[in-house]
Chain A
């Protein structure tokens, strides 16, 4: 299915947020993930089902100041 990740269309076989993160080769830690502009706690990623056209935003932790 197609989902949007940081405003780019992505074709994925992933069915959950956890498998999407894996599919995109994102680091397991040091990122936060939002769906439809709402953060999804990491503990819910495995059970969070993807759906067609879903808008996902991945935010990398940053530490500069």
Chain B
């Protein structure tokens, strides 16, 4: 009866989160957890755009964005946070304007810098979850090492062309890291990345990352802890692999 009343209230309140509060996996209790949560998004590009938009929309209380880059014209086919008028301006500043206009209840914090081994710990400390939306191998090893040391779940995501992958790493009690997945740091850092990608790959993979954050924060479903999900959008071939 109590649950039914809760559902009724959520459906009738007309509140901005009513449609997700209707879900028993989230409800009012989950919504309160989202409001209290602090999520860091490293990279405000193709993946960072849907991750930030969906988490702000969902009512995550604090979003911290880290990116040193400025918006360029070749970003716009996939980086849906930005508009033509913002080309040449700071990504995190433009993103903050967009996210605050979407949800005034989300506290958007920005760092217009690159996350490095030197500043990573002080930037990450105090967050509940870190989302990897960066565009290089070097930062991924730093994120994994620092999140493992701090015991903060690290939502790994990466895209190339039509393919993408997501894993939840450094997530106690499962302590698998990015190094367990790809141990060859020197070789990876020496590789020249292929930059071809369609916007939809970022949309699909960023959407999955954002939803893993929702699952972790609200405590429902089977989080991809210590598992890698892969998708090839050309064939829709998909795997979930134990790391």
Q: Are B241 and A63 in contact (CB under 8 A)?
A: no
Query: Looking at chain B's contact residues, is the secondary structure mostly helix, strand, loop, or mixed?
Result: mixed
Chain B residues near A38: list those with CB within 8 A: 241-242
Across the interface, name the chain A residue whose C-beta is closest to B241: A34
- Of A30, A39, A65, the residue contacting B134 (CB under 8 A) is A65
Is B144 interfacial (CB-CB < 8 Å)?
no
Tell me the smallest distance from the CB of A6 to a CB of chain B, in Å. Answer: 7
Given contacts A39-B181, A65-B135, contact A30 B187 (CB under 8 A): yes
Is B188 interfacial (CB-CB < 8 Å)?
yes
Number of interface residues of A (CB under 8 A): 19
Tell me the smallest distance from the CB of A62 to a CB of chain B, in Å. Answer: 4
Is A25 interfacial (CB-CB < 8 Å)?
no
Across the interface, name the chain B residue whose C-beta is closest to A8: B237
Q: Are B193 and A63 in contact (CB under 8 A)?
A: yes
Interface string of A1-32 (1 = CB under 8 A from B): 00000110000000000000000000001101
Q: Are B184 and A30 in contact (CB under 8 A)?
A: yes
Among B18-26, B41-49, B145-153, the stretch in contact with A: B41-49
Interface string of A35-61 (1 = CB under 8 A from B): 001110110000000000000010111
Given contacts A63-B158, A64-B160, contact A30 B228 (CB under 8 A): no
CA distance A57 to B46 in the complex (A): 26
Q: Are B164 and A39 in contact (CB under 8 A)?
A: no
Given contacts A34-B241, A38-B241, A39-B228, contact A63 B187 (CB under 8 A): no
Given contacts A37-B240, A62-B164, contact A29 B188 (CB under 8 A): yes
Chain A residues near B165: list those with CB within 8 A: 59, 62
Which residues of B (194-243) have their CB < 8 Å from a CB of A? Answer: 194-195, 197, 202, 228, 230, 237, 239-243
Is B53 interfacial (CB-CB < 8 Å)?
no
Q: Are B243 and A64 in contact (CB under 8 A)?
A: no
Across the interface, name the chain B residue whose C-beta is closest to A31: B182
Q: Are B230 and A64 in contact (CB under 8 A)?
A: no
CA distance A48 to B131 in the complex (A): 34
CA distance A39 to B227 in the complex (A): 9
Chain A residues near B140: list those with CB within 8 A: 63
Chain B residues near A59: list those with CB within 8 A: 165, 228, 230, 239, 241
Across the interface, name the chain A residue whose C-beta is closest to B48: A65
CA distance A61 to B158 in the complex (A): 8
- Of A7, A37, A64, the residue contacting B158 (CB under 8 A) is A64
Residues of B at under 8 Å CB distance from A?
43, 45-48, 132-137, 140, 157-160, 163-165, 180-184, 187-188, 191, 193-195, 197, 202, 228, 230, 237, 239-243
Residues of A at under 8 Å CB distance from B?
6-7, 29-30, 32, 34, 37-39, 41-42, 57, 59-65
